[in-house]
A = this chain, B = another copy of it.
Amino acid sequence: MSRSLLVISAHAADFVWRAGGAIATFAAAGGVARVVALSYGERGESGELWKEPGQTEEKVKQIRHREASQAAAILGARFECLDLGDYPLEVDRAALERLTAIIVETAPDLILTHAQQDPFNPDHPVAYAATERARQLASGSGVASAFRTVRPPELLLFEPHQPELCGFVPNVFLDITPVWEKKQQAMAVFASQSYLRQYYSERAAHRANHARRIAGYKDIERAEAFQRVLPQVVRSL
């Protein structure tokens, strides 16, 4: 059976910059990757689109949906959006239940989401908290329960824009050299944000530098950093 990855992000484009390499790596290995955005980031993070005269929220959402779907497809993932609104993003009881149901239905081996804090983004920590709570509700208490549960998935956080200010301490570096071209293509979908493309390309090279220094693998040219939150259970060291 193929492995399953679930990426939960606050806004439509987050997954590309922060986890595009992980998604492409997962898909390339035969895994099934699903991206769930809680909002389109239509109000707060669609800067360029709002400069166009006569722009509307509905149109912004459509553009964002198209772009995110296209980028996800390049990486090998399916994209969907719960459209909960942004700035501020709020996850009420019903939305929490939808998210829990998605986890139960997906039964992911691995969930990726935002870091717990972000002093410069009001929605990222909301996405973290909702994901963390839904993960627990979906996996239950470890004993038989009155509702359907899944095997507890792993949980990793992807890199925020200002890692140290978000309490982010990477403990997993993923070599994304083999899928780097795919990540570049996915980033290129967001045509108006070429400065982010440059930023995250350089960042991937820096993280590769760190990975080489940590483990001595000289062939790593691009990497993504993650913070694993829960213990690993392993059969060998």
Within 8 A of B (CB), among A163-202: 163-165, 168-175, 199, 202
A31-50 near B? 1/0 per residue, CB < 8 Å:
00000000000111111101
**Known pairs A161-B213, A237-B5; A145 contacts B232 (CB<8 A):** no
Is the CB–CB distance between B121 and A136 below 8 Å?
Answer: yes
Q: Are A140 and B44 in contact (CB under 8 A)?
A: yes
Does A78 lie at the interface of the complex (its beta carbon under 8 Å from any beta carbon of B)? no
* Measured CA separation A210–B230 after assembly (Å): 12
A143 at interface (Cβ–Cβ under 8 A)? yes
Inside 8 A of A217's CB, which chain B residues have their CB? 233
A145, B50: Cα distance in complex, Å: 6
Interface: A2 (CB within 8 A): no
A48 and B137 alpha carbons, distance in the complex (Å)? 18
Instruction: For A145, list chain B residues within 8 Å (CB).
Output: 43-47, 50, 87
B152 to A216, Cβ gap below 8 A? yes
Q: Which residues of B contact A42 (CB under 8 A)?
A: 146
Q: Is A119 positioned at the interface, with any CB of B under 8 Å from its CB?
A: yes
Pair A43/B144 contact, Cβ less than 8 Å: no
